[in-house]
Structure 1
Amino acid sequence: MEDTANTSAGSGPRERILAATAELLAAGGRGAVSTRAVGAAAEVKAPTIYRLFGDMQGLLDAVAAEGFTAYLKDKTVLEPTADPVADLRAGWDLHIGFGLANPALYLVMNEPRPGAAPPSAVAGLAFLSALVRRIAEAGRLRVSEERATDLIQASGRGTTLTLIAMPEQRRDPELSTLAREAVIAAITTDTPAAHPPTPVTAAVALRAVLPRTTALTAREQDLMQEWLDRIASAQDPSASVTSRSDADGT
C-alpha cells in the first residue's frame, strides 16, 4: 500500500523519497542521509528505495538531478539582454547564490564521479556554451569557445566551493566579484567598436556563426572550422608563449 499512498495528491513514493532526501541533506549534510532516515521521513521501506533508485548513490544522483533542474529553471528565466557579457555576469552571480543557498546539495551535485555526466549537468553546460557563443558572435571573445567555457565553469565551481568551505562570518563578499571579473577579463575583449578585431576574435566570431552559412559544402565547412580553430589556438596567450620559446630554442 505504501507505493500507492497519496499518489492522487502528486506525492507518490518517489516524490516523497526525493523530498525527504533533499530535506535531510539540507539539514545535516550527506552524513544525515541514510536508508533508515530517508525511509522514516518518506514513510517507505528500504526495498522501495532500492527498487526506485538502486542504491544510496542512485538516490543522491536523482536528488542532484532535481537540484540541477531547479537551478536551470532559475537560469532560464533570465531574459537575454543586448550585452552577452552582462548576461554572463548575471549567470555567474546566480550560480554562486544557488551554491551558497544550497551548500550540501551543491556539494553532491559537483562530486567527481566516473561515467557520463547526468543529463541535467549536460543541460547546464549547454546553457553556458550558448552564452559563450553569444559573446563570440559579438566579436568579444579572445580565446576559443571551448577554453572560455571550461574556464568559466572551473572558476565558478571553484569559487563556490571555496565560499562554501568558509565559515559564514568569514566569507568575503568581494571574492566572487573579483573572480568573476578576472575570468571576464581573461576571455573577453573590449567592445568591437572601441578596438578593431584581432585575428583571434575574428576567427572565434566566424567560427561561432559558421554553422549558419549555406555557401559551403559540409566538407568545406569542416575544413574552414579546422582552420579557424588553428588560428584561435595560435593566438591563445599560452600558445604564444610556447611559440616564443620554440623560436628562442628553449
Structure 2
Amino acid sequence: MTDPRDRILAAAASLLESGGEEAVSTRAVGAAAGVQAPTIYRLFGDKQGLLDAVVTRGFEDYLADKTQRAETDDPVEDLRHGWDAHIALALDRPALYALMYARPREAGHSPAARAAFAVLAAHVRRIAATGRLRVAEDRAVAMLHGAGSGVALSLVALPPGERDPGLATAVRESVLAAITTDAPAGSDPGPVAAAVTLRAALDDLAGFTGAERALLGEWLDRVAAPSS
C-alpha cells in the first residue's frame, strides 16, 4: 500500500477497532502509517476529518461487499441476506459501525452512505413489484433501517458472551412479517398492497404524460400511506 491516504485510512481503521475512537490520535496514526502529522492534516484537516473519511471508506467497503452477491428470484430472501450482512458488519467491526450509525455526522451522508441506503430501497422496491409489500415503500425502508441499526447497536453494546444470538433473526422476521405478505397483491382483498405494487411499476406504465404519472403516483401514495 503505497498511497499515503490509503495507508493513513488503514492505520486509523485498525487503531479504531483495536482501541476505540480514543486510540485514533494523529501521532498514533502517523506512526502506524509511516507519515508525519502534517501529511494527515493536509489530507484530512483534523482528527474529525480523518474519522469521517474512515467512515466513508467503511461505507464504500460495505457497499462493495453487499453488491457482490447476485440477486435471486426471491426478493424477500435477498433482503434477509442483506440484513444478515448488515448485522455481520456490526459484529465484525463494532467501533466502525458505531461511528457509521450512532454518530453519522456528514460522513453518514456521503455518496457511499447514500448508495448503501439505496441498496436497501432497491430490495424493497423489488418486493413491492412482486406484490408482496403490505405497506408503503418509504415506511418499509424506514422500518428496516431503524430496526436493523437499532438491533445491531444493541448487540455491539454488550460483551460478546451476553449477546442473544437469535435476537437479530427474531427482529428481522418480525419486521418482514409486518411489511410483507406471502401472497401477491392480486389475491389480497385490501387496496394498500395493490396500490404499493402499482406504485412500484409506475415508471413502466405507458400512455401517461409526466403530469398524469405524477398525479397517479400522488394518489397511490395516499392510498398506501399509513393511517397513523
Shared fold, TM over 0.5: yes
Partner of 1:170: 162
Q: TM-score, normalised by structure 1?
A: 0.87
Answering whether residue 221 of structure 2 is matched by residue 229 of structure 1, we say yes
Instruction: Verify the 8 A CA contact 1:140 1:192 in the aligned structure 2.
Output: yes
Query: 1:85 aligns to what?
Result: 76
Larger radius of gyration: 1
Which residue of structure 1 lines up, in the alignment, with residue 124 of structure 2?
Answer: 132
After TM superposition, which residue ranges in structure 1, 4 or more long, deviate above 2 angstroms?
A: 112-116, 193-198
How many residue pairs align between the two structures? 227
Q: Is the counterpart of residue 179 in structure 1 residue 185 in structure 2?
A: no
How far apart, in 2, do the equivalents of 1:59 and 1:114 lie? 12
Percent pairwise identity: 56
Identify the residue that residue 30 of structure 1 maps to in structure 2. 21
TM-aligned CA distance change 1:64 to 1:197, over 3 Å: farther
1:185-213 Cα deviation digits (max 9, x unpaired) = 11111222894352111100110110112
Partner of 1:103: 94
Q: Is the 8 A contact 2:132 2:185 kept in 1?
A: no
Unaligned ranges ≥5, structure 2: none
Code of the residue aligned with 1:57 in structure 2: it is: Q
Matched residue type, 1:82: D
Name the CA shift for 1:115/1:42 in 2 (closer, same or farther; >3 Å): closer
How far apart, in 2, do the equivalents of 1:94 and 1:61 lie?
22
**Unmatched runs of 5 consecutive residues or more in structure 1:** 1-9, 243-250
Instruction: Pick the aligned partner of 1:153 from 111, 120, 145.
Output: 145
Distance 2:38 2:13 in 1: 19
Which of the residues 67, 87, 92 maps onto 2:58?
67
Length-normalised TM-score, structure 2:
0.95
Using the TM superposition, give the Cα deviation of residue 157 of structure 1 relative to its aligned residue in structure 2, in angstroms: 0.2
**Is the partner of 1:173 in helix, strand or coil?**
coil
- Aligned-pair Cα RMSD in Å: 1.6
Instruction: Judge conservation of contact 1:139–1:197 (CA < 8 Å) in 2.
Output: no
